[in-house]
Amino acid sequence: MKLHERLHISLTEIDTALEQVVLTDLDLPHPSVISDGVLKLIRSGGKRLRPILVLIGGRFGVTAGKEDTRLKRDLLRSAVLMEYVHMASLVHDDIIDEADTRRGEPALHRQTDVRTAMHIADYMIARVMEWSSSNAIEDEQDPLEGLVALVAQLCLGEYGQMEQAYNFDQSIRQYLRKTRNKTAVLMAACLKAGAEVAGADDETIRLLYRIGDYLGMAFQIQDDILDYTQDERTLGKPAGSDLRSGNITLPVLYALERPALAAKIRSLTKTSSESDYAYAIAAILASPACAEAAALRDRYIDRAEQLIDRLAHYPAHHDLKVLLQQLAQRAA
């Protein structure tokens, strides 16, 4: 059973709402390069983990478990806004990494061109800001403030990755900071946003944000591990793509601690041959580096579980347990 089914969440409802954001923009021609590009991104699929997190966060509010049409509308709106931010960040990410594929299909900038793809992603961020402001929840203060800060942090995470490209001297602390800005803050913000919309108390909102942060860290570390342990067909991109693009992830940092591997890895550049990269990727996979990365991932999962147990008085704490189980299965 898929995650959204276990959580009783309709992906069809989420996807329909995602399309409405662009289809209801009366200033945007339909069809157009922008509208077609956004709709193509939406219809390419995805796990919709971020909107799912928003909806789960909403189950911890004062009206949780009650039928409330307005609450459902506002939660879905917040879920859609977060997914737009996420999708736009993936377009930017693929351009920066010079990635050819996304989910086994040509990346948007390969289907169009870099300038067009950048324009589409920028439109998505701008539309989020516009839609958030014009559909603000009643009594909500500064609806754009949190979104602007979130987008800024995502940009800092992307910049951190660009700045550290092919830098084999970066520390694990620098990697974790980049990972938090690039991935974890958005997942944390999603749980928090849902809880805020549903009127959860401050302590519950604080705990959910920390849980989302730990889940996001674990999720990204697992993604970094899968880049070495999964094949191209499963990944939808060549194995070791992160290293090939100069993105130094946790398995690489642990591998660099071994002198026999360090010299070979450090010799890699953007112009290195495919055989050099293939050799380094195979060596990293054969080393204990991925297992060491998995141990750190599991520490984040354990921290999240400890906090989830503090919310055991909410029936929805079971939904967070399901998320942990899903992450554990993904890691198996």
Q: What is the mean pLDDT of each run of 10 residues along the chain (332 residues)?
A: 93 96 92 95 93 97 70 92 93 86 88 94 89 59 66 82 88 94 94 94 97 96 93 74 92 95 93 93 95 96 97 95 86 62
Residue 188: what pLDDT?
96
The rounded distance, in Å, linking the Cα atoms of 292 and 295 is: 5
Pair 187, 212: CB distance under 8 Å: yes
The rounded distance, in Å, linking the Cα atoms of 149 and 164 is: 23
Which domain range does residue 175 map to?
3-331
- Residue 187 to residues 49, 51, 57, 211, 228, Cα–Cα distance (Å): 8, 9, 11, 9, 24
Model pTM score: 0.92
What DSSP character marks residue 180? I
What are the residue ranges of helices labelled H in 98-201?
108-111, 114-134, 143-163, 172-179, 185-197
Residue 139: what pLDDT?
45
Tokens found for residue 21: 């954001």
The rounded distance, in Å, linking the Cα atoms of 228 and 238 is: 9
Residue 231: what pLDDT?
77
What CATH number is given to the structural domain containing 297? 1.10.600.10
* R_g of the chain computed on alpha carbons: 20
The rounded distance, in Å, linking the Cα atoms of 180 and 197 is: 24
149, amino acid identity: A
φ/ψ of 106, rounded to 5, equals -55, 135
Pair 77, 21: CB distance under 8 Å: no
Which H or E run includes 101?
A: strand 101-102
The rounded distance, in Å, linking the Cα atoms of 282 and 271 is: 19
Strand partners, 105: 102
The rounded distance, in Å, linking the Cα atoms of 205 and 193 is: 9
The number of folded domains in the chain is 1
Which H or E run includes 252?
A: helix 250-255
